[in-house]
Amino acid sequence: MSAYLKSNIMSFSQIQASNLRDQVADQIRSAIIEGRLRPNDHIVEAELTAQLGVSRTPVREALILLEQDGLVVSYPYRGSFVRNFTPQDVKDIFSMRTVLENFAAELIIDRLTNEEYNHLDQLIEAQRQAIAIGDLRQIRSIDMNFHHFIVSCSQHSLLIRNWKQIVAQIFAVLHIRAWAIPNYDEYKAIRDHLAILNAYKQRDLPTLMSLNREINERVAGECVYSVEQKGSA
Amino acid sequence: MSAYLKSNIMSFSQIQASNLRDQVADQIRSAIIEGRLRPNDHIVEAELTAQLGVSRTPVREALILLEQDGLVVSYPYRGSFVRNFTPQDVKDIFSMRTVLENFAAELIIDRLTNEEYNHLDQLIEAQRQAIAIGDLRQIRSIDMNFHHFIVSCSQHSLLIRNWKQIVAQIFAVLHIRAWAIPNYDEYKAIRDHLAILNAYKQRDLPTLMSLNREINERVAGECVYSVEQKGSA
DNA sequence: ATATCTCATATTGTATACGATCTATGAGAA
DNA sequence: TTCTCATAGATCGTATACAATATGAGATAT
């Protein structure tokens, strides 16, 4: 395996937050993405201070980061809350994701190597096994890795950065979908990924772009439905 | 004039930073965008504390925001520096701008009203006058407003937000161009804007998208040249 | 009973104090 | 002369203390 490919594959886990700010941000981000913190939950700085054993300074700085990431909203002298996505928010997020992933596709479709195809094949297989076991957290993780690997192949740091932000928001929304649609067919993602990978192998950009659009619009629809359900419940 | 249009036009000036953090961030951002702070300049928290008459806390928080915006880079225990754009950075920034503006075009091209066309006409004329006077700062401001108005018509908050970030970085780079190419023909922008506006009026999306791409690639090339000049100087 | 006002409490915004780390400088040895 | 290493100064990271603001409970008037 080439050094480039390896670093690409590892780019999710190799990140190590040096300062407390980033560590705290990662903790809160995980809590939101994994659904332990729910939309509109009040994030009280003093509580995190106690729970994490750090002072308010890094906690506050972490919350600033998360607000920039669109996972948290803050109001002056009232505090920070887990962002509650409106149907319009969800539509916007998924439409932006489509735009970014189509841009990535345009950049890489003629440059992907067999090694990279193989890695994507393996990820699909791993996700299939995670679904068989029923490990939802693992399913989500591999799913994200599939798309992240593709986007990171572009080596377009700005694109990768913006995509990561969007996807973090999407994962927060996917938890709402999981609550609203308990028996969601996770194998849909497998079929989607196979179709995407096939389009890449065929180097068929138009098909790939409409695939991206259709998939994202379908999932967006599911999430909008879920958000509306939650609002009326 | 419709209420929607009015709020759209005013959306640049109506922002009012309530807390010190945002005020400090705005000050530093302006300094970078206007070229008073140059790439690689060391931003020392204590100096800003003294100059602005606030404590280090809001200064630090502002620097975190600016790092997220891609205008500042920070190294642990070494400090924050005005970001120095590499040629690759410049290419990435402009290619992302193209993607975002083409997305905006797709969203709005069939929905723009005569009022909005008129406003864009007025902005072009205002920019022409600013060029005649030679007010570079005003030229830049109106130029940004032209594009911002278009993007904001999409009412896609995520798109608008990402676009604003990108454009702040571009403005920082444009100052490098101004230093490298002192007698730059500012009327180029007028011709570009007229062509863009005309494509919108014709509702000709393909032409508009290739226009966007060509213009951004041309300006990107000028900026890459300028960045390379600076590096070798 | 309802509405409105007052004030205590909780929470955030800001300032300051302390600790950790980097960088440059200079003395001493090879 | 040049290299190494210790030390001091500068700067950032974190913790704590104080100030400003929002919220809600209870009192009071209608």
- B198-217 pLDDT, tens digit per residue, is 999 999 999 999 999 999 99
Tell me which CATH code domain B20-82 carries. Answer: 1.10.10.10
The pair of three-digit structure tokens given for residue A92, joined into one six-digit string: 């916007």
* Nearest alpha carbon to residue B202 among B109, B123, B122: B109
Give the CA A13 to C1' C24 distance in Å. Answer: 36
Q: For residue B211, what are the CA distances in angstroms to B93, B139, B192, B200?
A: 17, 21, 8, 11
Q: What pLDDT sits at residue B10?
A: 33
Which nucleotide's C1' sits nearest to the alpha carbon of B59? Answer: C14
**Are B99 and A100 within 8 A, CB to CB?**
yes
State the best of A77, A106, A158, A167 to mutate against chain B, taking most chain B CBs within 10 Å: A158
Task: Report pTM.
Answer: 0.90
pLDDT at A17: 58
Q: CB of residue B56 closer than 7 A to nucleic acid strand D?
A: yes
Smallest CA–C1' separation from B58, nucleotide: C14
Q: Which residues contact B26 (CB under 8 A, 6 or more apart)?
A: B17
In this structure, CATH architecture of domain B87-232? Up-down Bundle (1.20)
- CB contact burial B100-122 (16+ within 10 A = b; e otherwise): bbbbbbebbbeebeeebeebbee
- Which CATH fold topology does A12-82 show? Arc Repressor Mutant, subunit A (1.10.10)
Q: How confident is the model at residue B13 (pLDDT cuts 50, 70, 90)?
A: very low
Residue extent(s) of CATH 1.10.10.10 domains in chain B:
20-82
In this prediction, residue B87 carries a pLDDT of 96
Q: Which residue of A has its CA nearest to B156?
A: A92
Question: Smallest CA–CA separation between A104 and chain B, in Å?
Answer: 11
Which helix (H) or strand (E) is B178 found in, with range?
Answer: helix B157-180
Proportion of chain A above pLDDT 90, given as a percent: 85
- Please report how the helices A157-180 and A136-152 are oriented relative to each other, as an axis angle in degrees rounded to 10: 160
Q: What is the pLDDT of residues A122-176, one digit of tens each?
A: 999 999 999 999 998 899 999 999 999 999 999 999 999 999 999 999 999 999 9
Contacts of B89 in chain A (CB under 8 A): 157
Sign, CA dihedral B2-B153-B164-A70, equals positive
CA nearest to A111, candidates A212, A8, A215: A8
Q: Return residue ranges of chain B for CATH 1.20.120.530.
A: 87-232
Give the residue range(s) of CATH 1.10.10.10 domains in chain A.
12-82
A171-204: pLDDT as tens digits: 999 999 988 998 899 999 999 999 999 999 999 9
Read off the pLDDT of residues B30-66 as tens digits, 9 standing for 90 and up. Answer: 999 989 999 999 999 999 999 999 999 999 999 999 9
How many of the other CB atoms lie within 10 Å of CB of B45?
A: 16
